[in-house]
Amino acid sequence: MNFYIIIPAHNEEDSIAQTLESLANQSLPAKQIVVVNDNSTDRTQDIALKFTAKHSNISVVENISSNTHLPGSKIINAFYKGLETLDQDYDVICKFDADLIFPKNYLEQLASHFKNNERLGMVAGFCYIKKNEDWVLENLTRKDHIRGALKAYRKQCFLDIGKLKRSMGWDTVDELLAKYYKWELLTDETLHVKHLKPTGISYNKASKYLQGEAMYKMRYGFLITLISAVKLAFKKKSFTLFRNYMSGYFRAKKQGIEHLVTEEQGQFIRKLRWDGMKGKLKHFD
- 3-class SS of residue 255: helix
Q: Which CATH architecture has domain 3-195?
A: Alpha-Beta Complex (3.90)
Q: What is the pLDDT of residue 199?
A: 62
Strand spans (E) along 53-112:
58-63, 92-96, 100-101
To the nearest whole number, what is the mean pLDDT of the chain? 91
Q: List the beta bridge partners of residue 136.
A: 129
pLDDT tens column, 123-181: 999 999 998 889 998 876 678 899 999 999 999 999 999 999 999 899 999 999 999 99
What stretch of H or E contains 18? helix 16-24
pTM for this entry = 0.90
Q: What is the pLDDT of residue 69?
A: 55
Q: List the beta bridge partners of residue 135.
A: 130
What is the mean pLDDT, run by run of 10 residues, along the chain of 285 residues? Answer: 97 96 98 96 96 96 74 87 96 97 98 98 95 86 87 98 94 96 97 85 63 95 95 85 94 95 97 87 57
Residues in CB range of 269: below 8 A, 6 or more apart? 176, 180, 218, 219, 220, 261
Q: What is the pLDDT of residue 71?
A: 64
Domain ranges for the chain, please list them.
3-195, 208-284
Q: What is the pLDDT of residue 68?
A: 58
| CA 171 – CA 148 distance, rounded (Å) | 5
